[in-house]
Chain A
Amino acid sequence: MSRVPGRSSTALLAVILAACAAAYGVVAGCSSGTDRGGGGTPNGQSGAGKAASNEPVVIGHYGSLTGAQATFGISTSQGIRLAIKQANATGGINGRPITLREYDTKGDAREAGSVVTRLCTNDKVVAVLGEVASGLSLAGAPVCQEFGVPMITPSSTNPRVTVVGDMISRVCFIDPFQGLVCAKFAYEHRKARKVAMLYDQAAPYSTGLAEEFRGAFEKLGGTIATSQTYAEGDPDFNAQLTTIRSAEPDIIFVPGYYTDVANIAMQARKLGITAPLLGGDGWDSTKLTEIGGPAIEGSYYSNHYSQQDPSPTVQKFIATYKAEFGSTPDGLAALGYDAALLLFDAMKRSPSLGGKDLAAAIATSKDFHGVTGTITIDADRNAVKPAVMLEVKGGAPTYVTTIAP
């Protein structure tokens, strides 16, 4: 206790700076537990190039299987597993069975970059599926592009993801479309003229949707009364909601992820805000209603598919998924399933399983009948397909309308 000379303030400052830096490091560093080796047998070799006819085709998946967005990764993973099981039951890829290598990103972009490198170099996978969050896909995509491994993201909606290069494509619509759908829905269906926005300023997904919504909604003739932001993990939204309450909006656009949205809804209702909330596919989780309860009732979000869609493809998928995993598939499970099936379809059409051939085959997919609608991959390797609007009613998402591209 008596070793410090009379320069306590500098020492204290140094200590604080070191500690702050360390504490921030903790956020990322904490999540370096063990990797979850996924299903299927580990297989060192891959099917790129000429391989024995019965050798398994190894594909990779990276997703947030733990962490705040864990339901995203788990749903996607289950969708992919179901697709693999069905494809293997009908002869796999030209007689070769498909196996899966899966790693957990824990919702951390740095982790995503390293596990994708591992998939491409160690596991030598033929193709990669993932991630859900755009921020994480943007970490994985450059790696896939560099190693020439085709990557299909099931549900990253930020436009920049496929801009990374010709190896990257997706089976979901992109943010501009989702922002446009929400704006159209707010203006035309809900007759909203004055909207408040509350979004996560550090998430590309959230800011992307907010920008697109603002543009589209103002073009339709509406006004954005106030635009507020929050940082992920901040539990208190009272300050932002107080400002929003004074603006008296018809609808509040909250393009965030489900945990934050549920909290925002609860705190908004406590402040007496009655305007419905409106958001994107980041809301899609059973946790939304589990945490949000009555507060989230009567709010709307755009999504990739609805469980109430009467189409036989959808109903058959729901039945098999339920039999396999005991739960109803959410939109992300459906997209994981579609991404895997579209990949298998391309593998069958592709002259070889080499990166270039396979990526070209994926990019020329046309009118592929998936669970989430008929998918055509356009010149920018984005999917062209409709979106559905859902309302939270009685604790479950209820189909409202479909909005076409």
Chain B
Amino acid sequence: MDDFLQTLMTAVSVGSLYALIALGYTMVYGVLKFINFAHSDVVVLGAWFSFTLATWFLPQMGIDPAAAPWWAACGVLFFAMLACGGVGFLIERLAYRPLRRAPRLNVLITAIGVSLLLQNVGQLQFDLGAGLRLPFGTQPQGMPRLVPDVALNDAAVARGVAGEGGSSSTLVLEHPAVLESGRSYRAVVYRDNGAVERARITSSTGTYGAGAVMSLGSSLTRPPDGSVYVIRRLARVPIAMIDVVIVVTAGGLMVLLNLLVYRSKLGMAMRAVSFNTDTAALMGIPVDRVISFTFVLGAMLAAAAGFLYAIKYTTLQQPAHAGWVLLGLKAFVAAVVGGIGNIQGAVLGGFLIAFIEQFGAVYVSSDLRDISVFAVLILVLLVRPTGVLGSPSCEKV
């Protein structure tokens, strides 16, 4: 049961990311009828912009990225989305608009070219002074956790004020505590200046009386003597704060997108362009502007996915790494499986792919994890080529 719930958690969290990215593929396909292969590279840009913002701009503003307030994280997300929106606009304006009347294959190949360009430019690095280095270079980097690394369902089992005489990797108990076997425990130490430090407890299981010394798995900045401590028992199925943040952020963005597309004039224009570009133009819809807007929107969602990816996994691989390509490819598969061109389909496809991938890895074999995703793609293309929610419409002429 634990395994099942744990896998469910992971699948929902990963599925939100796939869905966010898949939306960008599907929206561009909706208005332009081609696959924007540079889309996954905009996700990479979003992640790396977030990294630059968090490790350079936050310290410039006097904010420690390791203990950033929630609004700083929102700020990083906002500016990363803004920057990527700009990049999305430029990509469409410079690379795709000149090819508006060209055969679709030309545009597709251009998309691959744009993708390669972004990857290679991303690998460059120049020192711009004051410690700012752009673009992103070829080294993997550690992204600061902008969201506290805690689970919402940990149980506090003991608390008190740490006694004297400990070192920076021990904790002297004020009150007795019991460590059950088969569970893991974490000490959280609250400093006077508001800083919070966490460390795993490595003492063996058993009952510890007042004054007993617990050993910690890693060193705190200084001995916890005199600080308030809480001992938390980690939940078997942790509901990590980061996963909640991901699901809420992604869900919120999807609701906003839905409102925009189905309840606004601009959304109506987007749907009209998607339905029939030429007629939309005849009806006085500024087609170029609507297409630009769609790209900006897709790129902003990609940036949000990149940001969430960065704070979830905290290791950013260099921009041309295979992991990024695979992430983009899976999101693309999600868009196709859900029904490319269909916004609800992209969301459904994202979760579907994540569920198949995660449950397959746990209950079938981890060897087949990526294979299962692409097997689903082939299966859907054979049985229902328009995707699960795609309308089986004939091509309009």
Contact = CB atoms under 8 A, between A and B. Distances in A.
- Co-complex (A, B): yes
Interface of A: 1-9, 12-13, 15-16, 18-20, 22-24, 26-27, 29-31, 33, 66-68, 70, 106, 201, 228-236, 238-240, 242-243, 245-246, 248, 259, 262-263, 266, 269-274, 287, 290-291, 293-294, 297-298, 394
Interface string B360-395: 011000110110000001000100011000000011
A239 B328 contact: no
Contact of A240 (B104, B108, B366): B366
Contacts of A106: 138
Given A1-B278, A293-B218, A201 B322 contact: no
Contact of A287 (B138, B140, B313, B324): B140
Contact of B322 (A8, A228, A233, A297): A233
B318 interface: yes
B217 A297 contact: yes
B249 interface: no
Given A22-B112, A24-B325, A270-B238, A3 B219 contact: no
Interface residues of B, number: 76
B329 interface: yes
Given A16-B336, A270-B238, A290-B142, A9 B386 contact: yes
A185 B208 CA distance: 31
B55 interface: no
A394 B219 contact: yes
A19 B369 contact: no
B175 interface: no
B236 A68 contact: no
B184 interface: yes
Nearest to A66: B138
Nearest to A201: B367
A30 B116 contact: yes
Given A30-B120, A242-B362, A272-B184, A68 B317 contact: yes
Nearest to A236: B14
Contact of B37 (A19, A231, A232, A263): A19
A15 B108 contact: yes
Given A67-B138, A297-B217, A298-B202, A33 B120 contact: yes
A238 B10 contact: yes
Contacts of B227: none
A109 B151 CA distance: 41
Contact of A234 (B238, B323, B336): B323
Contacts of B6: 238, 242, 245, 271
B10 A233 contact: no
A396 to B, nearest CB: 11
A30 B323 contact: no
A33 B116 CA distance: 11
Contacts of A201: 367
Nearest to B142: A291
B285 interface: no
Contact of B108 (A1, A18, A30, A66): A18
B292 interface: no
Nearest to A29: B116
Contact of A294 (B112, B218, B394): B218
Interface in B142-166: 142, 149, 151
Given A68-B140, A294-B199, A2 B397 contact: yes
Contact of A243 (B3, B120, B320): B3
Given A19-B35, A30-B116, A229-B366, A294 B315 contact: no
Interface in B289-343: 309, 313-315, 317-318, 320-326, 328-329, 332, 336, 340
A270 B236 CA distance: 10
Q: What are the nearest 4 A-B pairs in CB distance? A: A233-B323, A294-B218, A9-B385, A239-B361
7 contacts: A1-B278, A8-B386, A19-B112, A232-B322, A234-B369, A259-B315, A287-B140
